[in-house]
Amino acid sequence: MTQTFSKSRAKAEIAFSSLQSQFFSRSQGLEEQNAHVQARDEKTARLREARHASEAANLAALADKKAGKHPKKG
């Protein structure tokens, strides 16, 4: 069943559907942006953890190296 609307109602329907389309495309853009931000934050956290592990290993190696150069007198 098709309905016939007045010209003003038809204009209003077109305007509303246009605004609705803009709203949904804006929402989709925000969702994509949020996904990119989340992926970047996860990668940053992963790289930070790797850097901290590397720094800890370097400090441990340096401590072992210093301990080997200066044996304790006993």
Residue 49 lies inside a defined structural domain of this protein: yes
Which pLDDT belongs to residue 45? Answer: 98
Domain that holds residue 59: 33-68
In Å, how far are 28, 31, 54, 66 from 39, measured between CA atoms?
17, 12, 23, 41
Q: Give the residue ranges of DSSP H helices in 1-74.
A: 7-69
* The total number of structural domains that make up the chain: 1
Six token digits for residue 69: 């150069």
Residue 41 lies inside a defined structural domain of this protein: yes
Q: What angle do CA 14, 19, 21 make, to 5 degrees?
A: 95
Which pLDDT belongs to residue 57? Answer: 95
Instruction: Note the pTM of the prediction, 2 decimals.
Output: 0.53
Which pLDDT belongs to residue 73? Answer: 59
pLDDT (tens digit per residue) in 52-63: 999 999 999 999
pLDDT (tens digit per residue) in 1-54: 457 779 999 898 888 888 888 888 888 888 999 999 999 999 999 999 999 999
Six token digits for residue 18: 């246009």
Rg (CA), the chain: 31
Residue 24 lies inside a defined structural domain of this protein: no
